[in-house]
Amino acid sequence: MSKIIHLDKKYIHSENVIFKEIEDELVIVPFSEGIGKIDEAVYSLNKIGHEIWNRLSGEYRLAEVIDQLAELYEGRREIIENDVILLLQDLIQRGFVLEKG
């Protein structure tokens, strides 16, 4: 079940993950997975996903993040908004990102 994403809310990285930039990707690994499941738990983001991740610092509302990305990539805001929301839903479902309380 997908969590409802609010454009007026701020989102932050979970404290239960570590992440590292490796070449052109960002690799995210949760602490909660056992060593035997590490290959299944590793999650990587491409350059654009990495840009989104960097902006999920709790500093900006999601609408502001989308505006920044639309300006950076000179894309249609509606398409970028949809893509950001889909990624954010996945990251939340995996426990990598939380709504800032």
Nearest to 55 by CA among 94, 95, 88, 32: 88
* pLDDT for position 41: 77
* Structure-token pair, residue 81: 């908004």
User: 59-90, pLDDT tens digit by residue?
Assistant: 999 999 999 999 999 989 999 999 999 999 99
The DSSP code sequence of 46-80 is: -HHHHHHHHH-EEEEEHHHHHHHHHHHHT--HHHH
Give the Cα separation of 36 and 34 in Å (integer).
5
Average pLDDT for 28-52: 77
Q: Write the CB contacts of 48 (distance below 8 Å, at least 6 apart in sequence).
A: 69, 73
Residue 35 scores a pLDDT above 80: no
